[in-house]
């Protein structure tokens, strides 16, 4: 039976243009299956998503796989040096073609051994020489938009008509290159993927503000100064920036002469984040991907220049992120998801500081307005 929302669940107080005058998205926007399907069509199928590192696609035949919800894609380097994206599905009987990252001079389906060139053209199809009126050009791989962002990151978009990511977020690319990516030689290591029992918007909401840092992340608030923490939102992205608060902090040991003295966080609509923590120079690119109305899948890569890191310091930072900061955020998000389904909750109000201090949710408000515009709430 088709699900329909009860009328009282569809009430919604306004998302005003000014954060200080605005309500949040309503609880049903995070729990309703029909709302999730609207987001699938209006957001996920039309936006740019992080696929992986450009360094993984250095040679002809190098490929990586990625996806959004049930749409899996391949990005591969052709013999002509071009990057191309395709849906990761054989045109014979729809078997998945490739997994993970690797090199494939020829893309061969493991089911019936149909094969494709790196430009997507059908190469061989066993037995078709005896099939009447078989036309190979009907069975080329279907293309997907692919683009390199900020010289290091590969993104994809399922919408053939989408504006290039460079046009949508060129200022962010420039900021990343100026503040973090000021050289070559970065090597990427995949993060272990994980899940959070919450709607993807809950995970993004939580990421976009540090209003919760002092009460919910005491070690982080000891590591990073809350006095000069600043948030900005513009276009399709936002940023949060701070500096070291204490070197003898509760999060992890930090050298006074550590090369990176900043905490930097950027979010790019709708699912991608770029993250820097104090210590040795490294950048994490992390995605909050929708897995269902109440499930978020996390995936990403860690970028670092070999030889630039302090092994002991870096290990302590990774351990803190993996065993303390990450679990704290996951627990917060899962509690919020449970609360959003409560009959005792409808909508909240944004806390907004016009100066963009840590006591603000202006980036969350910015995100909510983008969601509401995309799905026409």
Domain 170-375, what architecture? Answer: Alpha-Beta Complex (3.90)
**What are the CA-CA distances from residue 188 to residues 17, 71, 86, 129, 369 (Å)?**
39, 24, 23, 44, 33
Residue 347: pLDDT over 50: yes
Confidence of residue 80 (pLDDT cuts 50, 70, 90): very high
pLDDT for 305 = 80
pLDDT tens profile 37-74: 999 999 999 999 999 999 999 999 999 999 999 999 99
Domain map of the chain by residue range?
A: 49-157, 170-375
Mean pLDDT across 304-313:
78
Residue 8: pLDDT over 50: no
Q: Which fold has domain 49-157?
A: Rieske Iron-sulfur Protein (2.102.10)
Tokens of 209: 């503000």
The answer to whether 268 touches 172, Cβ cutoff 8 Å, is yes
Bridging pattern class, strands 230-234 and 194-196: unpaired
Residue 177: pLDDT over 90: yes
Regarding pTM above 0.75, the answer is yes
Residue 29: pLDDT over 60: yes
Long-range contacts of 147-152 (CB under 8 A, 24+ apart): 147/48, 148/54, 148/83, 149/48, 149/173, 150/176, 150/177, 150/181, 151/54, 151/177, 151/181, 152/53, 152/54, 152/55, 152/181, 152/186, 152/303
């Amino acid at each position: 039976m088709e699900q329909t929302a009860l009328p009282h669940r569809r009430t919604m107080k306004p998302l005003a243009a000014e954060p200080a005058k605005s309500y949040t998205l309503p609880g049903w926007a995070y729990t309703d299956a029909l709302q999730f399907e609207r987001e699938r069509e209006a957001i996920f199928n039309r936006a740019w998503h992080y696929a992986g590192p450009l360094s993984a696609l250095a040679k002809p035949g190098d490929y990586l796989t990625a996806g959004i919800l049930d749409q899996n894609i391949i990005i591969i380097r052709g013999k002509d040096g071009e990057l191309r994206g395709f849906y990761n599905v054989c045109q014979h009987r729809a078997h998945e073609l490739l997994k993970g990252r690797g090199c494939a001079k020829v893309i061969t389906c493991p089911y019936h051994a149909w094969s494709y060139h790196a430009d997507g053209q059908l190469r061989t199809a066993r037995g078709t020489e005896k099939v009447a009126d078989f036309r190979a050009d009907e069975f080329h791989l279907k293309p997907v938009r692919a683009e390199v962002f900020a010289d290091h990151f590969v993104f994809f978009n399922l919408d053939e008509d989408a504006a290039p990511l460079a046009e949508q977020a060129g200022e962010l690319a420039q900021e990343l290159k100026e503040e973090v990516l000021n050289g070559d030689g970065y090597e990427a290591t995949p993060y272990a993927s994980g899940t959070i029992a919450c709607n993807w918007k809950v995970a993004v909401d939580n990421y976009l503000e540090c209003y919760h840092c002092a009460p919910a992340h005491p070690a982080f608030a000891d590591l990073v100064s809350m006095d000069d923490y600043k948030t900005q939102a513009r276009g399709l992205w936002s940023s949060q920036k701070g500096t070291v608060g204490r070197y003898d902090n509760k999060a992890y040991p930090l050298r006074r002469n550590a090369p990176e003295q900043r905490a930097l966080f950027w979010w790019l609509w709708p699912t991608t984040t770029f993250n820097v923590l104090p210590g040795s120079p490294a950048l994490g690119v992390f995605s909050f991907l929708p897995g269902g109305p109440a499930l978020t899948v996390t995936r990403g890569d860690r970028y670092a220049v070999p030889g630039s890191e302090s092994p002991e310091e870096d290990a302590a930072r990774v351990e803190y992120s993996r065993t303390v900061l990450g679990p704290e955020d996951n627990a917060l998000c899962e509690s919020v998801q449970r609360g959003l389904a409560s009959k005792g909750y409808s909508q909240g109000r944004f806390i907004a500081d016009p100066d963009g201090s840590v006591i603000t949710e202006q980036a969350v408000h910015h995100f909510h307005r983008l969601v509401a515009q995309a799905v026409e709430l």
